[in-house]
Amino acid sequence: MGLRIALAAALLMAAPLPSVSAEEGVSAAIGRANYAGFRDRRHCTAFAVGPRTVITAAHCIDGLGGAMTILFGYDRGEWQAEAVTVSAKDVGQDVAVLCLGRDSPASLTIAADGAGPGAATQLVGYGKPRVHAQQRRDCPVMAPVGGDLLLRCPASPGFSGGPLLNTDGEVVGVMSRTGRGTSYAADVAGLTADCPG
């Protein structure tokens, strides 16, 4: 019986996932990045900054070789598009650039200028305990710390890799370290990233 269940699960994982509509108000440029292997299952948040270029936290891809499935606009079992990563590169400061095998449905713009102390920013992602819902959280910047932004907001695992947006909806950071009172995002203002395709 156990072998039959394992075989059915393997077949389901190998089958292409259907593309369905996401709930209104959910960003199609932001997705849940999933990985499931023999001994490891994890998820983070990822977001597109170009047709085939996606950014997430580098610690989300440790030991995976970049093999993740991204469900763009994922919200409570529905999503707008699915894409599989074909390569990944750690670009430093806990930021990774993933290249997709197909185009994403939408993309965000990386801000040219960083966010200073007191800047109003918003984090988007799939943090616990609501890991199947795209959540938004106000995360004002307390101070730049090295190459990071110290944020006055709690964030839970799953938000890692999520975009930190300024009031214009541009990306100023990538969630790196979550905490109960303060969190850190890697400052990515001015970052250029591009994948072929």
> How would DSSP label each residue in the chain?
-HHHHHHHHHHHHHSPPPP-PPPTT--TTEEEEEEE-SS-EEEEEEEESSSSEEEEEGGGGTTTTT--EEEET-BTTB-SEEEEEEEEEEEETTEEEEEESS--S--PPBPSS---TT---EEEE--TT-TTS-EEEE--EEEEETTEEEESS---TT-TTPEEE-TTS-EEEEEEE--SS-EEEEE-TT-------
Mean pLDDT score across all residues of the chain: 85
17-45: per-residue pLDDT in tens? 333 333 347 999 999 999 875 555 779 99
Residue 191: what pLDDT? 94
Please give the Cα distance from 149 to 24 (Å, whole number). 30
Residues 6 or more apart whose Cβ sits within 8 Å of residue 5: none
Q: How confident is the model at residue 176 (pLDDT cuts 50, 70, 90)?
A: very high
Residue 39: what pLDDT? 57
- In this prediction the pTM is 0.85
Give strand pairing partners of 56.
Answer: 96
Residue 143 above 50 pLDDT? yes
57-116: per-residue pLDDT in tens? 999 998 876 578 999 999 999 999 999 999 999 999 999 999 999 999 999 999 999 999
Please give the Cα distance from 70 to 91 (Å, whole number). 20
C-alpha closest to that of 156 among 135, 180, 182: 180
